[in-house]
């Protein structure tokens, strides 16, 4: 199995990415989105490993 390096997106980087798409968000909002995405990723990995 190949291991990929884990690269975290900072709230500032996410804000920049969203801004390019015309979406304006505060740093606090981007932090909350990243927290949610992290939790969803953990849940998905747990589901895959249960198979």
Per-residue pLDDT tens listing for the chain (51 residues): 567 677 889 999 999 999 999 999 999 999 999 999 999 999 999 999 998
* Tokens 């804000």 -> residue: 15
How far apart, in whole angstroms, are the C-alpha atoms of residue 45 and residue 43?
A: 6
pLDDT given for residue 8 in this prediction: 84
pLDDT given for residue 16 in this prediction: 96
> Which parts of 1-51 fold into alpha helices (H)?
11-20, 27-50
How far apart, in whole angstroms, are the C-alpha atoms of residue 33 and residue 9?
A: 11
**Beta carbons within 8 Å of 14's beta carbon, 6+ residues apart:** 25, 30, 33, 34
pTM: 0.76
CB count within 10 Å of CB 42 equals: 10
């Amino acid at each position: 199995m190949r291991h990929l390096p884990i690269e975290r997106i900072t709230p500032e980087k996410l804000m920049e990415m969203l801004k390019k798409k015309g979406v304006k968000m505060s740093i606090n909002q981007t932090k909350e989105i990243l927290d949610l995405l992290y939790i969803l990723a953990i849940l998905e990995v747990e589901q895959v490993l249960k198979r």
